[in-house]
Amino acid sequence: MTNRDLTTLPAAQAAAEIRSGVLTSEALAQACLSRIAETDGAIQAWEYLDPEAALAQAREMDEIRRAGRATGALHGVPVGLKDIIDTADAPTGFGSPIFEGNRPAADACIVERLREAGAVILGKTRTTEFAFAHPTSTTNPWDAGRTPGGSSSGSAAAVAAHHVPLAIGTQTAGSVIRPASFCGTFGFKPTRGVISRRGVLRTSQTLDQVGVFGRTLEDVSLLAEVLGSYDPSDPLSLPRPRPTMVAGVQAEPPVAPDIAWFDLAFHDRLDPDAREGYEQVLEALGPRVERFDVAPQLSELGQIQETIHEYEFLQNFEELIERDRDRLSSTLQAVIERARKISQAQYEDAQAVKASAEAFFTGHFNEFDAILAPSATGEAPLLSANTTGDPAFCRIWTLAGLPCVNLPILVGAHGLPIGTQLVGPAELDDRLLRTASWLLKTLSDSEEET
């Protein structure tokens, strides 16, 4: 055990070893903290760390196990939290100097779920300003001159850099899937309403969703399953049983899945190496994929998402904007100016289109198990571009509240990761994860044959 690099352990394996006594939570937490101390000066994935508090949690989990008491699904496993998630014992700053030192009165619902599962809250990861578009200081672990994506910048980078096996982010446009693509991790955003948003910064009441990062498909399914629960304080929380995510990953499809690919109008934004990679994936899947021509109606849904997002952001932050406008970035001020031009009628029309899109995809999945799509335009952009990347390839699926997973299976022209996205039917997250597992195995078998 002493010769192993504990920071590379998948979360599911680490939890099993801790429960069986092969590994201690303290040893794993210390390994993660040492890795952070060695490398975070360059990466800057973490906004807040209290190493002693994290180690105290880990020791408590070890004592619980040694005493023969009940252990949870993530017992002793370190987890990073995006710094828009409330924690009663640590500050939550929302990526803004306006809230420096802010101490919430209570934990977010998902933090309560983590504690119940025995997880160790390692610290808070950096987010873009109010989880919107202004880049953070976080860099991409693959290339310090490139963005890790946003707004869940630190969460994606922390998992990719082996700082922590699991991290939590949020997605309102593409803030889980795109950073996962740029950083080469698995990223999973479950169906809207599966995970409670109580205690998470509200930027858009109809679009905000919680997502997760991990090293394996099983890891992200395990974390999402732990976080899922009905919460009547969240108006979008689904008041019914949740999909069994881990069982989905472990299951074999009864028949080979049928997958759709839409040639959307904005696919001209894809980098050439990304386009080539996706064509190779489609070729490897062969008759399992049906391609559809450019669908203008679908392409326009991205603008609908943007309209709702910006209109609701302005609603939620109007008081703060009036009070602290001079302390907001120029990036965010430009968003606010655009939002002020959106009328109530335009917003209501956008909500009606959103409802139509949800109905369309419900019918579409009667014929297909999943949609294959790009996760991003290609490799992570350079930091000098002052962007966290284009969310165009995620907006539609977020708008419709569909479950999405990033699979880190492609490599770009500069040797950097490019993710492939699978999108599934609402509330059939287990089927999506089953299809994703099948796809990974199918592509692996195809590579071995060639």
Report, as residue numbers or ranges, the catalytic residues: 82, 151, 175
- DSSP letters for 152-207: SHHHHHHHHTTS-SEEEEEESSSTTHHHHHHHT-EEEE--TTSB--TTB--S-TTT
* Alpha carbons 254 and 79: distance in angstroms, whole number: 34
Give yes or no for a contact between 159 and 185, defined as CB atoms under 8 angstroms apart. yes
* Alpha carbons 212 and 209: distance in angstroms, whole number: 10
Contacts (Cβ under 8 Å, ≥6 apart) of 178: 149, 150, 375, 376, 388, 389, 390, 391, 393, 394
Give yes or no for a contact between 72 and 113, defined as CB atoms under 8 angstroms apart. no
Report the relative pairing of strands 78-82 and 120-125 from DSSP bridges: parallel
- DSSP letters for 4-71: S-GGG--HHHHHHHHHHTSS-HHHHHHHHHHHHHHHHHHH--EEEE-HHHHHHHHHHHHHHHHTT---
Give yes or no for a contact between 64 and 97, defined as CB atoms under 8 angstroms apart. no
Contacts (Cβ under 8 Å, ≥6 apart) of 336: 313, 314, 317, 321, 328
